[in-house]
Structure 1
Amino acid sequence: MNIENYYAARKNIFERFNESSTITKIVFSFLMACITGLMAQIIIPLPWTPVPITAQTLAVLCSGLFLGKKYGCLSQIMYIVLGIAFIPWFGGMTGGIETVLGSTGGYFVGFLIASYFIGYITEKYTDARNFTRMFAVIGVANFALIYIPGLLGLALWFYLTQGTVLGVVELLMMGLIPFVFGDLVKIAITAGVSKVCLPKE
């Protein structure tokens, strides 16, 4: 396959998804929810924090990239709702409302916001689909849109369960700093996927 055929195939796949039926898009959203659940099982517990390192944020970031704002966000709604209802596919094969209301609950909120934001930028600005710009977009989604609600939720959970208020440094050590390097790798992978897989016109 020469480069022109590759560009044409990439554009054709992207357009076929956008022109597909609502049912097809919902099916793809469910598949992305399943991928998020599978990625959540790649987990590294940390002894000083209830928030583990997982691979699920890679799926969250890719959901907006591939499915757009509406269906990328829908995939994460499905992931959360089905995980609460009956599928134990949160980190460590857990599920139920208690997980969402626990130490990582704020991050779930961030998943919805981040997937929508990435999908919005991907759909609206074709010139943002290169590596550098998408790295910046995904970086904002990851470190602001996921971590702000995530840290707020963690602080609230700690106060309600332990009766004390976490200091800023303690909160960052529990909910942000240990994850920065891995997140930069995930952001780079997602930005690379955008450069390779998404049409630029």
Structure 2
Amino acid sequence: MNVNFDRYYSARKNVFERIQDSSTATKVLMSFMMACFTGIMAQIIIPLPWTPVPITAQTFAVLCSGLFLGKKYGCLSQILYVVLGIAFIPWFGGMTGGLETFLGSTGGFFIGFIIASYFIGTITEKYAKARNFTRMAAVIGIANFALIYIPGLAGLALWFYFAQGTTLGIVELLMMGLVPFIMGDIVKILGAASVSKVFLPKD
């Protein structure tokens, strides 16, 4: 049994180091693949009747991008997701795309994706001991509920003001952009923390 665990730990470390030591071209390709994964996960969607912001699974891909690709290329994957989605690939939620979608009710969340991926990647690269389940769940929780939701809610409030001509109260804003998503986000946070525990080396 010990031998099997030793092989597992060794293989896990080797794969992680290969990703870190791969060429720039390979890392850019992996960033594009992660952008594609984000686009695929964005199609798992549950619309809500009282808010223009739907529940999607794309946040899980965002959180994992920093874990696997680090701050620079994890961040790049989300930049590619946003830029290519604006330019010509309809892979935002509900197979949408274009500048109009980016400037819509969910535009702030796209910005949060880039920031969150960079933050998670920074912690993952710099602090190996933070890759265990408990610490990484805390890191990912901060990224999710602060770094994604702060720009996301700000963008939603601005969009509502310019689209409807009225200002959302704080309770209305939270009910439209945060509260309905908390339970699903907790599941995604725990899932991403589990990915870190299983696949990332701790030394």
Same fold, TM-score > 0.5, yes or no? yes
State the distance in 1 between where 2:171 and 2:141 align. 21
Which AA in structure 2 matches 1:193?
Answer: V
What's the CA shift for 1:111? 0.2
Q: Partner of 2:161 in structure 1?
A: 159
Tell me the residue number matched to 1:57. 59
For 1:39, the equivalent position in structure 2 comes to 41
Is structure 2 residue 22 aligned with structure 1 residue 23? no
Counterpart pick for 1:82 among 71, 84, 88: 84
SS at match of 1:190: helix
Name 1:188's counterpart in structure 2.
190
Could you say what the CA RMSD is over the residues aligned between the two structures, in angstroms?
Answer: 0.6
Structure 2 residues without counterparts, runs of 5 or longer = none
Q: Deviations over 1:141-161 (max 9, x none)?
A: 000000000000000000001
Partner Cα distance (1:15, 1:115) in 2: 19
For 2:46 and 2:19, how far apart are their aligned partners in 1? 35
Specify which of 11, 17, 22 is matched with residue 9 of structure 1.
11
Q: Which residue identity is paired with 2:35?
A: A
What is the aligned length?
201
Q: Which residue of 2 aligns with 1:105?
A: 107
2:98 corresponds to 1:96: yes
Partner of 1:137: 139
Query: Which runs of 5 or more structure 1 residues have no equivalent in the other structure?
Result: none
Q: Deviations over 1:134-188 (max 9, x none)?
A: 0000000000000000000000000001011000000000000000000000000
- For the residue of structure 2 that corresponds to 1:156, the secondary structure is helix
Is the counterpart of residue 119 in structure 1 residue 116 in structure 2? no
What per-residue deviation string (whole Å, max 9, x for no partner) do you get for residues 105-154 of structure 1? 00000000000000000000001000000000000000000000000000
C-alpha displacement of 1:44: 0.2
Q: TM-score, normalised by structure 2?
A: 0.98
2:50 pairs, out of 48, 51, 56, with 48
Percent same amino acid among aligned pairs? 78
CA apart distance, 1:39: 0.2
Give the Cα separation in 1 of the matches to 2:65 and 2:171.
31
TM-score, normalised to structure 1's length?
0.99
Q: Give the 3-state SS of the residue equivalent to 1:119 in structure 2.
A: helix
Distance 1:115 1:18 in 2: 16
Read off the aligned partner of 1:31 and give its amino acid letter.
M
Q: For 1:87 and 1:136, how far apart are their aligned partners in 2? A: 33
Matched, 1:179 2:173: no
Q: Secondary structure at the match of 1:2?
A: helix
How much does 1:7 deviate? 0.2
The residue that corresponds to 2:72 in the other structure is 70
